Amino acid sequence: MKELLETISSLGNQASFNRILAKASGRGTLAWHRTLRRYLDLLVQAGCLKVEEREVGSVNRQQLYSIKQSRPTLWAGPAILRIHGLNWDVPDDDLYSFTTDLAALTRARQMNLGKKQLLAAGREDCLAQETRHDDQKKTGTIELVVAIIATRHIDLHYFFKRSDELEIGQAVRLLLQRLAEIFTGPALETDPRTFLVCRERFLKILRTYSKEKSLEESVTSRKDRRGLALVKTLTPLQIVKAAGKQLGLIG
């Protein structure tokens, strides 16, 4: 998408769909009009491009694109985590926007919220954003992050990368370490059945990470302090309950 934005910028006020397609094809960036249309729509919706129409003497009006901003705007929050598999009841309007980069835009998904259409950030971006958001705003939503990480396989490499950029890399690595320690330890006496089911699920995910060699990135020399206190205050019972609720074992 970076090359596409450069193409549009180079065309100035002549950046019509056909001119963009011709130049992008010549550069080897894009050669299929449907793919270009999808990318242009994404960039418009993300706030990177604006589009204007003008009469050209034909049935269809010509669309002209221009650069509006370099960084896309996406949406995250508990309501967005729900489309990524969160099995908790959360308000439909519990979401917020944030600016990011084009790599995150390629993972974004369109979603309808009432009459509005939003670009929802990808799962790993949402998890990283929610961890930082709770650290900053004290929302208590770190349990939602726990619920997903403890029960669903994620792109750990990308999650660590995004977390490092948000200066919470140490915190999310500590969270993964705490999950591993808790679910490889003795069962909690308060709810052993829930614990055992959650342990089986998490250890299966952990074995997958081991095969992918993703866990090699769980060690870092970074000195980020953000979010560490947030993760340290989570109790083993909170973690097991969050995972159990996600799996539908408890209300």
Report whether pLDDT(12) > 70: yes
Report whether pLDDT(114) > 80: no
Positions of E strands within the chain: 49-54, 62-67, 73-76, 96-99, 109-113, 116-120
Which residues are CB-contacts of 186 (< 8 A; sequence separation ≥ 6)?
none
Percent of the chain's residues with pLDDT above 90: 70
Provide the pLDDT for residue 201: 97
Phi, psi for 39 (deg, rounded to 5): -65, -40
Provide the pLDDT for residue 214: 87
Which residues are CB-contacts of 40 (< 8 A; sequence separation ≥ 6)?
4, 17, 20, 49, 51, 65
The pTM (predicted TM-score) of the whole model is: 0.90
Helix axes 156-165, 123-137, angle to 10 degrees: 40
CA distances from 214 to 52, 104, 107, 160, 161 (A): 45, 20, 19, 10, 12
161 band by pLDDT with thresholds 50, 70 and 90? very high
Identify the structural domains of the chain with CATH numbers, from first to last.
2-67 (1.10.10), 123-246 (no CATH)
Mean pLDDT of the chain: 91
